[in-house]
Structure 1
Amino acid sequence: MKIIVKILAVAAALWAATKLVDGIIVSADTPAKEIGTLLAVALVFGVVNAVLKPIIKTLGCAFYILTLGLFALVVNAGLLLLTSWIAGQLDLAFHVAGFWAALWGAIVIGVISWLLDLVLGD
C-alpha cells in the first residue's frame, strides 16, 4: 500500500512539474491517457531512483560534501533526464527538453513530493 501511495505522490508531483516548468511535457490526447502516462513515468522514475541514486551517492560522496549537498540537484536533474529517455524508449508521451528544465523539474518534484510525504506520512 505504501508503494502505491508513493507512486501516486510522485505522479502528482510530475503533473505539477508539467504545469509549472516549461520543457516538461506530457503529450497525451485525453486526460485518462495523461494520468496513465504520469503513473507509468512515476513508476519508471521510482525504479531509476531506487537503483541508481544509492550508487551515485556512494561514488560521488565527495561532490556532495564539497558542494554542501547542492550536487544532489544535478543528480536529480540527471535522473529526470534519464527517466525521460526511458519513457521515450517505452513510447510514453513524456519528455524533458533539456538540463535546465530537468533541474527546475527536479526541484518542483522534490518539494512537492516532500510536502505530500509530510501530509500523508509513512
Structure 2
Amino acid sequence: MKFWQGVLINALLFLALSGFFRATFYVESIWIALAASLVLAVLNMSIKPVLSILSLPITFLTLGFFSIVINAFMLKLTAAIVGSGFHFATFGTAMWVAILLSLANLFISNRVSTE
C-alpha cells in the first residue's frame, strides 16, 4: 500500500508544484500527474540505482549534492516518457522541482510513519 500512497502523494505534489512554477512546469491534468508519478516510481526502482552507483565518485566529491542532478534527470526522463502533458521548460526547473519534491516527501513520510 505504501507504493500507491507514494504515487498518489507525488501526483498531488506535481499538481501543486506546477501551480508554483506556472511558466516553466506544466501538468495537463490529474490523470497525467498520476501517470507521471507512476512512471517516476518505476524509473526510480529500475534506472536510478544504476545511475546512483555509476555517479558515486562525483556524488561523494560534491558531498551528495549531485544526487539532486540525478533526481532532476529522472524527472526530465519522466517528462520524455509521459509526453506533452508533463513538461519542464528548463533543466533548472527540474532541479528545483526535484529539491522541493524531495523535501516534501521527506516531511510527509516522517508524518505518515509516526502515526
- Scaled by the length of structure 1, the TM-score of the pair is 0.86
1: distance between equivalents of 2:47 and 2:112? 26
Displacement of 1:41 in angstroms is: 0.7
Q: Does residue 11 in structure 1 map to residue 11 in structure 2?
A: yes
Q: Does residue 79 in structure 1 map to residue 79 in structure 2?
A: no
Give the length in aligned residue pairs: 113
Q: CA RMSD in A?
A: 1.4
| Match for residue 99 of structure 1 among 80, 87, 91 | 91
Q: Structure 1: any 5+ residue segments left out of the alignment? A: 28-33
Displacement of 1:16 in angstroms is: 2.1
- In structure 1, what residue type is equivalent to 2:99? I
1: distance between equivalents of 2:103 and 2:112? 14
Is the CA contact 1:84–1:96 (under 8 Å) kept in the aligned structure 2? Answer: yes
Alignment of 1:1-122 (within 5 A): 1-21=1-21, 22-27=23-28, 34-88=29-83, 93-121=85-113
Is the CA contact 2:14–2:27 (under 8 Å) kept in the aligned structure 1? Answer: no
Deviations 1:60-117 (A, max 9, x none): 11011000000001111111111100011xxx61111121110111111111111111
Runs of 4+ in structure 1 displaced over 4 angstroms?
none
1: distance between equivalents of 2:88 and 2:15? 13
SS at match of 2:26: strand
Deviations 1:12-71 (A, max 9, x none): 2212221222411013xxxxxx21111111000111111111101111110110000000
- Scaled by the length of structure 2, the TM-score of the pair is 0.91
Q: Structure 2: any 5+ residue segments left out of the alignment? A: none
The higher relative CO (CA closer than 8 Å, separation ≥ 6) is in 1
1: distance between equivalents of 2:12 and 2:107? 11
- In structure 1, what residue type is equivalent to 2:27? V
